[in-house]
Amino acid sequence: MSKIRSFIERFVTRKIGAEIKCCLTFFYIVCFYWVYRWANGLTEASIVHMFGMLWAAYILEWVQVLINCDFFEMDRLGKKEAAVITLGSLIYAVAGHFLSWFDGNIAVALGFWAYMAFAYICTFAVCKTKRIIDAKQLNSDLKKFQERKNK
Amino acid sequence: MKYTIEQIVKGEDELILRYQRLNSEVEAALRFMNAPPKKLIGEKNDTQAVIDFADVLYVETVDRKTFIYTADDVFRSELTLTQLEEILNTVNFFRCSKSMIINIDKLTTLKSLASNRIDAALFNGEHIIISRTYASEFRKILKGESSDE
């Protein structure tokens, strides 16, 4: 019973994590899309485009979680991580191009690729900073624990 | 209360408590006398060794065999990890994974890793990863929020 419970807990934790990543990635894509539309004098967004963005984000983030190439959880920016960021953002750019989010404009799609890579790097930096702050708190708690116990 | 301390040349060390009524002083002495011995028995090269709790860095199970690690040595224990966990429960020890118990007192630094894991560095330079499953309980213990404390 505890094994089933443990499995469900692990699954739910993973699912929640993946859903949050999907939402954040969707937000990144939509921000670029809105700026692109606005720069072209359009103030309306296509629901079909947004549907495509949502599914692209959902599928890609789940794939990253399942193959353990999740950029949210990277400890450092090495070659493998750089490859994940480059390839991940490229897939979004290709999806954007073929789903006509940017009216087939290759230059904008390339810009979108760079933007998504930058968004990934920013997210990595934020997660890394969060872990550095957390480590400081952990070490402070450890010191207090050791002092408390050795009094 | 009167204290009598006597050094003996022969025979076994002995602690005798004589009292008429239970009071706080007597109770404190009784607690000390009833406290489990803070020692473990380990085996190395067919020789038994007594290991002080304070010298233990961590205890690990490998292939159903339990090993006690100190700064300089590794000893085999006849006890299971669960039995050792019960014995070590009174002091600064924490079950950090299915197969390991660490001495929190011997940790020097902690590093927060992805997926809510913790990298714990021991003073001898070894690193132990505390998994997500055990990390939240570990954080509570450090903060003094655990029910075990």
Q: Give the pLDDT of residue A143.
A: 93
By C-alpha distance, the chain B residue nearest A73 is B114
Q: Give the pLDDT of residue A18.
A: 83
Q: Give the pLDDT of residue A89.
A: 92
Residue pLDDT, tens place only, B2-16: 888 888 888 877 888
Q: Where are the alpha helices (DSSP H) in A40-105?
A: 47-66, 79-98
Q: Give the pLDDT of residue B4.
A: 84
Distances (CA, A) of A7 to A14, A94, B116: 11, 36, 17
Judged against a pLDDT cut of 80, whether residue A80 lies above it is answered with yes
pTM: 0.71
Q: Give the pLDDT of residue B90.
A: 63
pLDDT category of residue A1 using cuts at 50, 70 and 90? low
Average pLDDT, chain A: 88
What stretches in chain B show pLDDT beneath 50? 149
> A-side interface with B, Cβ within 8 Å?
6, 13, 72-75, 127, 131-132, 134-135, 138-139, 141-142, 144-146, 148-150
Q: Which residues of A touch B130 (CB under 8 A)?
A: none
What does the angle CA A110 – CA A115 – CA A121 come to, to the nearest 5 degrees?
130
Residue pLDDT, tens place only, A12-62: 877 888 888 899 999 999 999 999 999 999 888 899 999 999 999 999 888
> Which two tokens mark A41?
């004098």
Q: Give the pLDDT of residue B43.
A: 87
